[in-house]
Structure 1
Amino acid sequence: MRYIDGVSASPSAADGADARVTTGETGLELDLGWAIRMVSSAFGRVATSSVEDLPGGPRGYLVLVALASGEPPSQLALAQRVNLDRTVTTYLLDDLEARQLITRRPDPRDRRARQVLITEEGRAHLERAQHRLAIAERHLLADLDEADSRQLRLLLTRVARTAQREALAPETDC
C-alpha cells in the first residue's frame, strides 16, 4: 500500500485520476494539466534568465545541449530533435554561428546537407549556462530530496520521449 498526501492508495493510484477517486479530491492539486502548467511557467522564468546571454535564449541552449554529445547532426535532424521549425532553426543557427558558438560544414555522407557542430566557445558558454540553470533548478525543486528529484527527471524524460514520438509521427485519419 502506498500513500498519496497521507491517504492510502493502491500501487496503480499513482496517476492523478486514480488518486482523485481514492482520496475524493477534485481540486487543482491533483490535476496534471495544472501541475504541468505551473512547473512549466516557473521553469520558463528561471530557464530564460539563466540562458539570456545565448542567442535564442532557451532555444539556443537546447541546440547547444543537443550538439554537445554524439554525432554532429544535420540541420534538419537537429530541428526535429529539439522540436523547432526548420526555418526558425536556420535563423537560430545563423545567430549562434555569428557568435562563434557553432559551426556548419557539408555532411560527408550527403553534401547537400550540412552538419552542425558546437565550437569550444560554444561548449564554454554551455557550461556556464548549465551551471546557472542547475542553481535555478535546485531552487525550483527545493521541496524534493535528491532521490525524488532524480525520479522526477527520469519520469519527465520518459513522458517527453513519448510526446516527441507523437509529434514526429505522421498524422493519421480516424
Structure 2
Amino acid sequence: MAQRTDLSTTRNLGWALAVVLRRWHEGVEDVLKDVPQGSRGYQVLSTVVHEQLPTQVALAAHLSIDRTVMTYLIDELEGDGLVERRPDPADRRARRIVATARGRKVLAAAERRVAAVEDVILSGLSADEQAAFQDLTQRAATHIHHEDPNADPCTAVRQVFDQAN
C-alpha cells in the first residue's frame, strides 16, 4: 500500500511557489485584459507610477527586462495612452517614462482587480498570515533582486508554466 503524503505538512518551497504563482498569473491575466501585455504591462505601469525611476534604461534594469523588450512594452503602453516618453532634463538623450492621467486611472482600477485576485488566492490564510506572507515574500524577492538584479522574473514565470504543462 502506498504511503499517503499530507501535502499540508510537506515542505516543498518550489512546488508551493509554483502553485501560488500559477494561480496568481492565471487570475491576473484574466483581469488585466485592458492593460497592454497583461501582467507584464501592469508591472511596468505600476513601477512607473510607484517607483519613479529616472529613465527608461533604469526602468528596464529595475524590472530585469531586456532594454529592447522594454522599448516594445513602452511603445504599447504609450500607444494606449497610459505613459509618455519625455526628455530627461539632465540628459536629453535619455527618456523618462511618465504615467499619464489615463495611465494612473487604469492602474488604480487594475490594482483593485489584482488585489481581489490575491485575496482569493490567499483566502486559505488568516488576515495576519496574508500580511506576513506578502511581507516575507516581498522581502525575500527584494533580497534576491538585490543580489541578482539582472535575473528576468518574466523568464522565471514562463519556465514555471512550461514545466507545469
Bigger shift: 160-169 or 105-114?
160-169
Name 2:122's counterpart in structure 1: 141
Which amino acid letter does the alignment assign opposite residue 39 of structure 2? Answer: P
The CA distance in 2 between the partners of 1:118 and 1:34, in whole Å, is 36
The CA distance in 2 between the partners of 1:70 and 1:142, in whole Å, is 28
Q: Which of 64, 74, 81 pairs up with 1:83?
A: 64
Name 1:161's counterpart in structure 2: 142
Give the structure-1-normalised TM-score.
Answer: 0.78
- Structure 1 segments of 4+ aligned residues over 6 angstroms from their partners: 25-28
Which amino acid letter does the alignment assign opposite residue 130 of structure 1? Answer: E
User: Larger Cα Rg: Structure 1 or Structure 2?
Assistant: 1
Percentage of matched positions with identical amino acids: 37
Deviation at 1:29, TM superposition (A): 2.9
Name 2:161's counterpart in structure 1: none
Name 1:38's counterpart in structure 2: 19
Name 2:106's counterpart in structure 1: 125
The CA distance in 1 between the partners of 2:141 and 2:52, in whole Å, is 21
Asked if 2 retains the 8 angstrom alpha-carbon contact of 1:103 and 1:119, the reply is: yes
The structure whose RCO (Cα within 8 Å, separation 6+) is larger is 2
Asked if 1 retains the 8 angstrom alpha-carbon contact of 2:37 and 2:73, the reply is: yes
- The residue correspondences of 1:3-14 to structure 2 (distance < 5 A) are none
Alignment RMSD: 2.0
- The residue correspondences of 1:86-105 to structure 2 (distance < 5 A) are 86-105=67-86
Asked if 2 retains the 8 angstrom alpha-carbon contact of 1:68 and 1:118, the reply is: yes
Which amino acid letter does the alignment assign opposite residue 42 of structure 2? Answer: Y
Asked if 2 retains the 8 angstrom alpha-carbon contact of 1:67 and 1:73, the reply is: no
Which amino acid letter does the alignment assign opposite residue 41 of structure 2? Answer: G
Name 2:42's counterpart in structure 1: 61
Name 1:15's counterpart in structure 2: none
Give the structure-2-normalised TM-score.
Answer: 0.82
Asked if 2 retains the 8 angstrom alpha-carbon contact of 1:103 and 1:117, the reply is: yes
